[in-house]
Amino acid sequence: MKVLIVGSGGREHAIAMSVAKSSRVDKIYCAPGNAGIGQIAECVPIKAMEFEKLASFAKDNGIDFTIVGMDDPLVGGIVDVFESQGLKVFGPRKNAAILEGSKAFSKDLMKKYGIPTASYETFDDPAAALAYLESAKMPIVLKADGLALGKGVLICNNLEEAKAGVKEIMEDKKFGDAGNHMVIEEFMTGREVSVLSFVDGKTIKIMSSAQDHKRAKDGDEGLNTGGMGTFSPSPFYTKEIDAFCREQIYQKTVDAMAAEGREFKGVIFFGLMLTKEGPKVLEYNARFGDPEAQVVLPRMKNDIIDVMEACVEGTLDKVDLQFEDNAAVCVVLASDGYPLAYEKGKVITGEENFAGKDGYYCFHAGTALNDKGQIVTNGGRVLGITAKGKDLKEARANAYNATEWISFENKYMRHDIGKAIDEA
């Protein structure tokens, strides 16, 4: 069969790699893709938000199955466009992708259905938000309602910061229309865990857990980024925590969406915080995490097409989802300066060192080919270097070793990805 993947990051490269392993797949296309994805798929120069063009491409080229990796097109309704044209597609429809697309929606859903999360209020008027802050406990968390590249969350230590935050989000519109509405919520403390799952509308199957490192600098300092590295599984995600989440969070979320007439099919990503009072939902995403996918998918034993097709067809209860009994670590190689200003177009060398090395992966995030055919940097997050190991320590050592195989000017990485496992 022919498969089209929509997106262009490290997550889509990891998805493409899993799809390439499927014995059922003859040809992979990726729109728009990147230089690494181009090594295993044919990249098509159509942007992820060009739904009609993508659907026409799928029809004209006999695509049997489309996988949408990114949040923007999902929240924008790409799945509805494909379905209306009779095309088979993996991902939630617009009315379900709102689980990620609106933080106010997801908070109200959790409140209505008793799913544990931080207490909160929603606002659509800055004056009301400012008045509320006067008597609120600090620190406090401000969230722009809509999609903001993972950056629409402000943690404010005092009233002045919080007031400035409301101004940034609702008046200066730092995150654009995402800031028309806002959630103000209780500040929680604890370890964070990312749990990805496959969902077919009724049944949910949980993938192996992971942990991201969102801050740019070692020791969780610096600005928030899309994610600087991940490990899987999380040693802090114990059997007890898993049992609690299965009972109080996962199935409840799927059932709540169905009860609201918003049947969810695709991937739900649960961003959890393990607080003293138990696990609570920080956020939902309607897609694989990036770079969570880069440590979870290489450990998945199933044929990804079988699992995704079962989600679309509503037969996920028949799938036995299995993961390897090992670990993986991903270290992101970024352009120095990310998430602020950085240079692009630097030549990347050393990828050939990965050839034939089992359990090592060089996932491309922001890369392109220049006019000489060389692979060059083309984004803030450039590559995701993933390695497996028999346990997390071995995987971490392997991944950091492999980061040395790659060179480019202004290469930047965190040196403490997975350091937390020493405390487990």
In the region spanning residues 224 to 253, those forming contacts with ligand AMP, defined by CB under 6 A, are none
Nearest alpha-carbon partner for 231 in 155, 326, 308: 326
Q: Provide the CB-side half-sphere exposure for 180 (13 A, CA).
A: 6
Candidate residues 188, 258, 321, 369; the one interacting with ligand AMP per rule CB under 6 A: 188
Work out what residue 227 binds among ligand AMP, ligand GLY, none; the CB cut-off runs from 5 to 8 Å by kind: ligand GLY
Q: What is the DSSP secondary structure assignment for residue 170, as one 8-state letter? A: I
State the nearest-atom distance from the C-beta of 229 to ligand AMP, in Å: 14
φ and ψ at residue 85, rounded to 5 degrees? -105, 15
State the nearest-atom distance from the C-beta of 275 to ligand AMP, in Å: 9
Work out what residue 289 binds among ligand GLY, ligand AMP, none; the CB cut-off runs from 5 to 8 Å by kind: ligand GLY
Residue 210 binding ligand AMP, by CB under 6 A: no
Give the C-alpha separation, 153 to 169, whole Å.
9
Buried b (16+ CB within 10 A) or exposed e, 373-412: eebbbbbbbbbbbbbbbeebeebbebbbebbebbebeebb
Work out what residue 145 binds among ligand GLY, ligand AMP, none; the CB cut-off runs from 5 to 8 Å by kind: none
Contact 90, 312 (CB under 8 A): yes
Which residues are CB-neighbours of 214 under 8 A, at least 6 positions away? 150, 220, 224, 225, 226, 227, 228
State the nearest-atom distance from the C-beta of 72 to ligand AMP, in Å: 15
Binding residues vs ligand GLY (CB under 6 A): 150, 212, 227, 285, 289-290, 292
Residue 214 binding ligand AMP, by CB under 6 A: yes
Residues 148-187 vs ligand AMP: string with x where CB under 6 A? Answer: --x--x-x-----------------------------xxx
Work out what residue 367 binds among ligand AMP, ligand GLY, none; the CB cut-off runs from 5 to 8 Å by kind: none
State the nearest-atom distance from the C-beta of 100 to ligand GLY, in Å: 9
State the nearest-atom distance from the C-beta of 1 to ligand GLY, in Å: 28
φ and ψ at residue 396, rounded to 5 degrees? -65, -45
Nearest alpha-carbon partner for 382 in 348, 418, 417, 341: 348
DSSP codes, 128-169: HHHHHHHT--SSEEEEESS--TT--EEEESSHHHHHHHHIII
Candidate residues 12, 71, 283, 290; the one interacting with ligand AMP per rule CB under 6 A: 283
The residue type found at 219 is: G
In the region spanning residues 314 to 343, those forming contacts with ligand AMP, defined by CB under 6 A, are none
Residue 192 binding ligand AMP, by CB under 6 A: yes
Give the C-alpha separation, 162 to 172, whole Å.
14
**Closer by beta carbon to ligand GLY, 73 or else 227:** 227
Name the residue number minimizing CB distance to ligand AMP. Answer: 283
In the region spanning residues 124 to 143, those forming contacts with ligand AMP, defined by CB under 6 A, are 141
Work out what residue 187 binds among ligand GLY, ligand AMP, none; the CB cut-off runs from 5 to 8 Å by kind: ligand AMP
Give the C-alpha separation, 42 to 104, whole Å.
39
**Closer by beta carbon to ligand AMP, 6 or else 178:** 178
Residue 3 binding ligand AMP, by CB under 6 A: no
Give the C-alpha separation, 322 to 6, whole Å.
25
Buried b (16+ CB within 10 A) or exposed e, 221-236: eeebbbbbbbbbbbbb
Residue 271 binding ligand AMP, by CB under 6 A: yes
Residues in contact with ligand AMP by the rule CB under 6 A: 118, 141, 150, 153, 155, 185-188, 192, 214, 271, 282-283
